[in-house]
Amino acid sequence: MRIGIIGGTGFIGRSLGREARQRGHHVVVFSRRKDLTLSWADEIRPIHQEGPVLDPTVLDVLINLAGDNVFGMWTAAKKKRIRDSRVDLTNRIVDALKECPKRPATFICASGSGAYGNRGEEILTEISPRGVGFLADVCADWEAAANRAQALGARVVLLRTGMVLGKDGGAWPLLRRVFSFCLGGRLGDGKQWVPWIHLDDEVGIILHMIEHPGISGPVNLVAPNPVTNAELTTAISRALKRPAILHAPAFALKLALGGLGSVVLESQRLQPQAALNAGYEFKYRDLGETLRVLL
């Protein structure tokens, strides 16, 4: 298949592109960088700031992984970048698909576990209702923008990703540094559920969705065994053989991080029901084993 990736230079996009190429797919990376070279990409095409965001091209699958990092102080300008880089860009992408001589049969768009908001002990699958809050609202509008591609005849898959763990990116390098210096500890009361997934399974599920055309709609990209923040803290402490005695109280996180502080305290007990129903076999189900592999 001809697979196009927007966000192909990012942490997930790089691994996805390499694995797709190894499986024999023709990989087209779309980027704003004019001097970009990628040994594993078959083609590199531009993303335009003005006018149609993509040049008309022939693709079987288009994957949109682009989005401004949510970490950082949530100023008004930061929140606008978070929203625009997701909702506005996705609308522009779908508009550009109208001009393609052969429209992709499948449009896969990133989303996030933040779509569910703060849900406590509730077990969440893809049919659970959306949550409330800034990220939940952004995800709802982001997914609505992606679903516009259905009117163009595309199958739309929405990737509700949790915390991605990989050696060279995602949450793990920062967590490893913090805990290595004995600065790690639970956040708030530590009872909030943390959905996580190994990078290999993140990529594996995306390609599984590509290769199984009967699947559409939201897909939770998380391991089958979520953990609480306290369990995550203990697992990292054991893996690195470092004490995790520091504790960040909820009020301090909210004071220091503003809106982001509330987000890291949210509880999302996700299950990857769509992936399991589709027959995907996870490589990494246990967090302790996953951390040992990352080390």
Contacts of 286 (CB under 8 A, 6+ apart): 225
Q: Is 174 helix (H, G, I), strand (E, B) or coil?
A: helix
At 63 the pLDDT is 98
C-alpha span between 186 and 243 (Å, rounded): 12
Q: Are strands 269-270 and 123-124 parallel, antiparallel or unpaired?
A: parallel
At 68 the pLDDT is 92
For the chain, domain boundaries: 2-163+196-223+269-282
Q: Give the rounded distance of the alpha carbon of 277 from its chain centre.
A: 20
DSSP string, 55-66: ---B-SEEEE--
At 258 the pLDDT is 61
Continuous segment of H or E residues that includes residue 248? strand 246-248
C-alpha span between 179 and 67 (Å, rounded): 27
C-alpha span between 267 and 278 (Å, rounded): 26
C-alpha span between 120 and 105 (Å, rounded): 37
Using an 8 Å Cβ cutoff, are 104 and 59 in contact?
yes
The amino acid sitting at 145 is A
C-alpha span between 75 and 184 (Å, rounded): 26
pLDDT tens digits along 151-171:
999 999 999 999 999 998 888
C-alpha span between 255 and 87 (Å, rounded): 28
Q: Is 283 helix (H, G, I), strand (E, B) or coil?
A: coil
Which candidate, 152, 156, 174, places its Cα nearest to that of 165?
174
Which candidate, 264, 209, 248, 267, places its Cα nearest to that of 74?
264
Mean pLDDT, consecutive 10-residue stretches, the chain (295 aa), reads 95 96 96 90 93 90 94 88 96 92 94 96 97 95 98 97 93 90 90 97 97 94 96 95 83 62 85 97 96 94
At 247 the pLDDT is 81
Using an 8 Å Cβ cutoff, are 263 and 69 in contact?
no
Contacts of 80 (CB under 8 A, 6+ apart): none
Which of these CATH numbers, 3.40.50.2000, 3.40.50.10800, 3.40.50.620, 3.40.50.720, describes 2-163+196-223+269-282?
Answer: 3.40.50.720
Q: What is the pTM of this model?
A: 0.94
At 263 the pLDDT is 76
